[in-house]
Amino acid sequence: MNRFDLLNKIQNILKDNLVICNIGLPSQELYKINDQPNFFYMLGSMGLSSSIGLGLSLSQNKNVVSIDGDGSVLMNMNTLATIGNRAPSNYTLLIIDNGSYGSTGDQRTFTDENTSLKDVAIGAGCKNVVECSGDETVNELSKAIDDQNNSYVIISKINSGNVKIDPIPLNPITIRDRFRKFIGIVKYL
């Protein structure tokens, strides 16, 4: 299973949640699979999906799922400590760990060598850290979202590989405003 297959499998679970989706191919693939106003596509700032989702979960009550990648989490690992100490129960971090920098040509990341993001997350103080296969991810993610009392970090181990895909055609302000309209903040659209 690669990232595109996994996103296809989980898209149904995501539909009532606020989703922050990582820059590059993850966002482009999710957009192509089933674009929704409650999906915030990152067009820049690699590494910050987990942090943006954390801020969003701290500021309102809807469930938040941050979709991040192994390469991106490696770039901003300190945020796992913030999540370990501050994440509220409406926060789930899904790390799609394919052991490679998919958007830049599938160069290997350190999770394909010695680094375990599961161990890092646990060491950083994160609760309910689950490492699972791509096939198990639907169940684990559903459980995490349904649990109103706990935050989760799910590391989904899948294969590398990408589908050929175009950049997202949406303007950043469109992404921002339709997302905030879904939350109920923007009234003028």
- Binding footprint of another protein on the chain (CB under 8 A): 20, 40, 42-60, 76, 78-79, 81-82, 86, 172-173, 175-176, 179-180, 183, 185
CB of 76 or CB of 128, closer to another protein:
76
Which strand ranges, in their side-by-side order, compose the sheet holding 18-21? 39-41, 18-21, 64-69, 91-97, 152-157, 129-133
CB of 164 or CB of 189, closer to another protein:
189
Q: How far is the CB of 2 from another protein (least distance, A)?
A: 26
CB of 101 or CB of 179, closer to another protein:
179
CB of 124 or CB of 145, closer to another protein:
124
Find out whether 109 and 126 touch, Cβ atoms under 8 Å.
Answer: no
CA distance 189 to 181: 7
CA distance 178 to 188: 10
For CA atoms 142, 51, 30, 121, the dihedral sign is negative
